């Protein structure tokens, strides 16, 4: 396994357009996380899945954001009607469940809304 993979690496979109990002976790990991990172800040939690179930969503995840993990493998994060404030790095991580496990991150998707 080559680790967590995210696509695309970069996305430039016009305000108001919809975008979708994909994350392929490490295959044995059934926990998958989405984070958002803006300039000069640490990553902030958005949501996480255990297998295909979305167990928690941050209040940062407005109703324009939706995440899925239909078969408990890869996940998608969609942003509808993008705004300039959505410009950020979107990071995906995976791990085994539980508190005593190590999380691994993908390369991230850098979104720029113009």
> What residues line the site for other proteins (CB under 8 A)?
33, 37, 40-45, 48, 55-56, 89, 91, 93, 99-108, 110
Closer to other proteins by Cβ: residue 80 or 103: 103
**Minimum distance, C-beta of residue 16 to other proteins, in the bound complex (Å):** 25
Residue with tokens 């899925």: 68
Q: Are 11 and 20 in contact (CB under 8 A)?
A: no
CB under 8 A, 24+ apart: contacts of 37-42: 37/88, 37/89, 37/90, 37/91, 37/108, 38/87, 38/88, 38/89
Closer to other proteins by Cβ: residue 5 or 73: 5
**Minimum distance, C-beta of residue 66 to other proteins, in the bound complex (Å):** 19
Closer to other proteins by Cβ: residue 7 or 89: 89
Q: Are 90 and 78 in contact (CB under 8 A)?
A: no
């Amino acid at each position: 396994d080559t680790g967590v993979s995210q696509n695309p690496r970069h996305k430039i979109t016009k305000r108001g357009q919809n975008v979708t990002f994909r994350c392929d976790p490490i295959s044995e990991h059934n926990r998958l996380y989405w984070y958002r990172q803006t300039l000069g800040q640490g990553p902030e939690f958005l949501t996480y899945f255990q297998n295909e179930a979305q167990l928690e969503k941050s209040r940062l995840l407005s109703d324009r954001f939706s995440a899925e993990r239909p078969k408990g493998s890869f996940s998608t994060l969609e942003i509808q009607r993008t705004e300039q404030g959505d410009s950020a790095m979107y990071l995906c991580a995976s791990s085994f469940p539980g508190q005593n496990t190590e999380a691994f991150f993908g390369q991230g998707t850098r979104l720029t809304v113009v």
